[in-house]
Amino acid sequence: MSDLVIVGNGPAAVAAIERFRSLDSRSRVTVVSQEEVPFYSPCPLAEYVEGSVPRERLFLRPASFYDDNGVEFLGGATAVELHRGVVVISKAGELHSLAWHKLLVATGAVAARPPVDGIEGTAGVFALKTLSDAEAIMAQARRARRAVVIGSGFIGLEAAQALRRLGLDVTVLEALDQVLPQMLDADLAEIVRSRLEENGVKVLCAALARAIESERGAVRGVRLDAGVLPADLVIIATGVRPDLGWLAGSGVATDVGVLVDASMATSVPGIWAAGDVAQAPAWDGRQRLIPTWPNAVSMGRIAGGSMAGGESRHSGTDVVNVVRVFGMAVASFGERSNDEPHDFATGGARRRVRIREGVISNGQFIGDISGSGALLEMMRKGVDVRRLGGVIARPGVGPAWSLPRPPKPGRHAA
Amino acid sequence: MQKAIFTLMERCVACKSCEIACAVAHSQSGILATAQFEKPLPRSRVRITSAGAYSFASRCVHCEDAACIAACPTGAMHREAKTGVVAVDQDRCIGCWMCVVTCPFGAVTADPGTGKALKCDLCAVRTAKGLGPACVDACPTGAMVYATPDELAGMRRSATAMASVGAVEEIEESVALWRNLKGGRAI
C-alpha cells in the first residue's frame, strides 16, 4: 500500500512530487514509470539528436532525486488497469497490483499515428517523443542519406533541422497547405518555409503520405499521390495524444484527455491528473488539452498541492509555443483567427497581434519575439488595448507599454 | 529580506544611463570606451520604456512564482538559493525561448549574439563586492533604488516627514512675512 501512487515520470510528475513533498514529508510515494531511465526533459531531444546538447544535460535532477524525496521508483512498469484503490501494472511481462490511497495520472501523451500504411513494424520509421526514439534516430541517421519528416508542427521542424545539420537530405511533408499550421497564418508560414528551403530542407505542402514503402522490412520511401519519395529514415511528427486505454474501467471522465478541474481533480475522488494527459481549464476557462512543458510543470505543482490537502488552483493553462528554425525564433500564443490584425515588420522580423473586442486574442512573431510574454499576460488579464492602436504589435510593448509618441516639433516647422 | 531594485517613476527622465551602465557592467572589459567595440556587443538587461508622460526602467523583478523557471525545459533558468535571484545558467540554456514567451514583464530577451536568454542578474558580481547594481549606481536622478522593501518604506516615510517639515517651515516663513508686512516694515 502506497499513500500516493504517481503514474508517469515526466515534468508533471516531478513537479507534483516536489510540491507534495514540500507539504507532506511522511506519506509513502511510489512512481510508476514506463521508461527505465530517470526523469529527463524531452524538449531538447532534437538538439540531442543533432549533437548540440549532451545526453547528461537531459536529466534535470540528480541521480539521487527519488531517494532524496523518499519516493519508490518502479521503472519499466506500465499501468494497464485502474480500479478503486488498486492499479494493475505490467512489469517484465508480469502483472502486479499496487494499492493506492491517492493517485495521480501523469502518463503524458504518445506520438499520434496518422493513417499511413506500413507505419507499424517498418524499420527506420520513428517518432521523436522519447529518449529511446531519439537514440534510435541517431543510430539510423549514421547510415541514412535521405530523410522524410511527416508533419510540419514544431517537433517536425526541429527534427528536420537536426537531421539536416547531420548532413542528411531532408524533406518535410505537410498535409495542409502551409507549415506550422497551428501556430502561424499562411503568409507568415511562407517566411518559415523560405527559411527551411534556404537551409537545404525541402518542403512539400498539401502532400499526403499514403504509405511507407519498404524492402525486407526496412523503409525505402514514402508513397505520395504524385509518386514515391525515396527515404531511409522517416520521422512521424503529426502531433501527440494521450493514451487513455488503461483508464477504461476506472470511472474517470475523459474527453480527448482526462477531464480535470482547476485543482487537477478528476471526476473520481482520490484521483488527480496533470500534464499532457490532462484536459484542464485554460486561461479562458475552457477545458482544453494543451501539451506543453510549462503547462505540465504548472499543472503538476497544483496537483501536488491538492494531493497534499492544500487549496491550490490553477490560473489556467496557456496556448503558447515557440520554435527555432535555423536560428530564427518563431513564437505564437492564443489561436489563429480572423480577428482584427495589427502588423509590424522590420528587417527580417514580423509581428502580428490580433484583437477581438478590444482584447488581444492571438500573437504571432517571427524573428523578434521580445515582449511576447507581456502581450500574452495582457490577453490573460483581458486588458483593453484599443487605445494603443497599431502600436500593439511593436516590439517593446509591455506592461508599461509605449504609447504613440507625439510627432517631434520640427525645428523648421512651417 | 532580500534587497531589490525599485523604480521611482516620477524621477525617471529616460536618460538611459541605466541601459548603458548595464551593458558595460556585463561586457568583457567593463569599460565603456572598449565595451562598445566588443563582439558580441554587450547588451543591456534593463530597458527604458515610456508610459504616457512617464518612463520606466523595465527589467526582471525576480518573481516569487517565476513563470520563466516553470517554463524552462533545460533547468537553465533557476533561483539562486542564497540571493533569491532568478538567473540563467548559460551552459544549460539552449535558447529555446520558452522564458521569453512566458515572462509577463517582457523582461527576458533573446540575445542574438550568444543565442541564449538574457535577463537581469541583479549584478551578482557587483553586489558580492558590496556595490549596488550598475543601473542603480548610474541613475543620476535617484529614480532607481536598491533596498529591501522595509528600507524603501523607511525612505518613503522620511521623505514624507521631510516634506511635512518643509511645509511647516514654509508656513512659518509666510507668517513671519505677514507679521513684517503688518508691522509696516520692509522685507
Q: What is the pLDDT of residues A290-315, one digit of tens each?
A: 999 999 999 999 999 999 999 999 99
Ranges of each domain in chain B: 4-148, 149-187
Task: Please check the confidence at residue B9 and state whether its pLDDT lies above 90.
Answer: no
Chain A residues within 8 A of B86 when measuring between CB atoms: none
Q: Is A322 on the interface with B (CB under 8 A)?
A: yes
pLDDT attached to residue B158: 83
* B51 contacts A369? CB cut-off 8 A: no
Task: Please check the confidence at residue A338 and state whether its pLDDT lies above 90.
Answer: yes
pLDDT attached to residue A404: 38
Task: Please check the confidence at residue A32 and state whether its pLDDT lies above 80.
Answer: yes
Q: Is A400 on the interface with B (CB under 8 A)?
A: yes
Q: Is A367 on the interface with B (CB under 8 A)?
A: no
| CB atoms near residue A69 (< 10 Å) | 18
> B96 CA to chain A: closest CA distance, Å?
7
Query: Residue A286: what are its φ and ψ, rounded to 5°?
Result: -75, 135
Chain B residues within 8 A of A369 when measuring between CB atoms: 97, 100-101, 110
Q: Is A351 on the interface with B (CB under 8 A)?
A: no
pLDDT attached to residue A401: 40
Q: What is the mean pLDDT of residues A274-289?
A: 96
Q: What is the pLDDT of residues A343-379, one digit of tens each?
A: 999 888 999 999 999 999 999 999 999 889 999 999 9
Query: Residue A287: what are its φ and ψ, rounded to 5°?
Result: -75, 115
Q: Is A396 on the interface with B (CB under 8 A)?
A: yes
* B101 contacts A376? CB cut-off 8 A: yes
Which one is the CATH code of B4-148: 3.40.50.1370, 3.90.79.10, 3.30.70.20, 3.40.605.10?
3.30.70.20
Q: What is the mean pLDDT of residues A276-295?
A: 96
Q: Which residue has the higher pLDDT, B88 or B58?
A: B88
What architecture does CATH give domain A113-236? 3-Layer(bba) Sandwich (3.50)
Chain centroid to CA B177: how far? 44
Question: Could you tell me the pLDDT band of residue A413, with boundaries at 50, 70 and 90?
Answer: very low
From B49, B95, B98, residue closest to A293, measured CB to CB: B98
Q: What is the mean pLDDT of residues B118-123?
A: 94
pLDDT attached to residue B184: 55
ipTM of the complex: 0.88
pLDDT attached to residue A403: 38
Chain A residues within 8 A of B105 when measuring between CB atoms: 373-374, 377, 398-399
Beta bridge partners of A5: A30, A103
pLDDT attached to residue A2: 81
What are the helix and strand counts (H, E) for chain B? 7, 8
Q: What is the mean pLDDT of residues A52-58?
A: 96
Chain A residues within 8 A of B73 when measuring between CB atoms: 11, 41-44, 293
Q: Is A402 on the interface with B (CB under 8 A)?
A: yes
Which cell is A284 given?
Answer: 479562458
Q: What is the pLDDT of residues A214-226, one digit of tens each?
A: 999 999 999 999 9
Q: Which fold has domain A2-110+240-307?
A: FAD/NAD(P)-binding domain (3.50.50)
Q: Is B57 on the interface with A (CB under 8 A)?
A: no
Task: Please check the confidence at residue B148 and state whether its pLDDT lies above 80.
Answer: yes
Task: Please check the confidence at residue A399 and state whether its pLDDT lies above 50.
Answer: no
Q: What is the mean pLDDT of chain A?
A: 93
pLDDT attached to residue B57: 82
What residue spans in chain A does CATH classification 3.50.50.60 cover?
2-110+240-307, 113-236
Q: What is the mean pLDDT of residues A251-256?
A: 96
Chain B residues within 8 A of A403 when measuring between CB atoms: 50-52
* B104 contacts A322? CB cut-off 8 A: no
Q: What is the mean pLDDT of residues A143-172?
A: 97
From A60, A322, A370, residue closest to B98, measured CB to CB: A322
Q: Which residue has the higher pLDDT, B161 or B126?
A: B126
pLDDT attached to residue A397: 61
Q: Is B50 on the interface with A (CB under 8 A)?
A: yes
Share of residues in chain A with pLDDT > 90 (%): 89
Question: Could you tell me the pLDDT band of residue A386, with boundaries at 50, 70 and 90?
Answer: confident
Q: What is the pLDDT of residues A90-104, one digit of tens each?
A: 999 999 999 999 999
pLDDT attached to residue A407: 42
From A60, A369, A397, residue closest to B101, measured CB to CB: A369
Q: Is A47 on the interface with B (CB under 8 A)?
A: yes
Considering only alpha carbons, which residue of chain A is nearest residue B116?
A327
Q: Is A320 on the interface with B (CB under 8 A)?
A: yes
SS (H, E, C) chain A: CEEEEEECCCHHHHHHHHHHHHHCCCCCEEEECCCCCCCCCCCCHHHHHHCCCCHHHHCCCCCCHHHHCCEEEECCEEEEEEECCEEEEEECCEEEEEEEEEEEECCCEEECCCCCECCCCCECEEECCCHHHHHHHHHHHHHCCEEEEECCCHHHHHHHHHHHHCCCEEEEECCCCCCCCCCCCHHHHHHHHHHHHHCCEEEECCCCCCEEEEECCEEEEEEECCEEEECCEEEECCCEEECCHHHCCCCCCECCCEECCCCCECCCCCEEECCCCEEEEECCCCEECCCCHHHHHHHHHHHHHHHCCCCCCCCCECCEEEEEECCEEEEEEECCCCCEEEEEEECCEEEEEEEECCEEEEEEEECCCCCHHHHHHHHHHCCCCHHHHHHHHCCCCCCCCCCCCCCCCCCCCC
Question: Could you tell me the pLDDT band of residue A414, with boundaries at 50, 70 and 90?
Answer: very low
Q: Please give the model's pTM, rounded to 2 decimal places.
A: 0.89
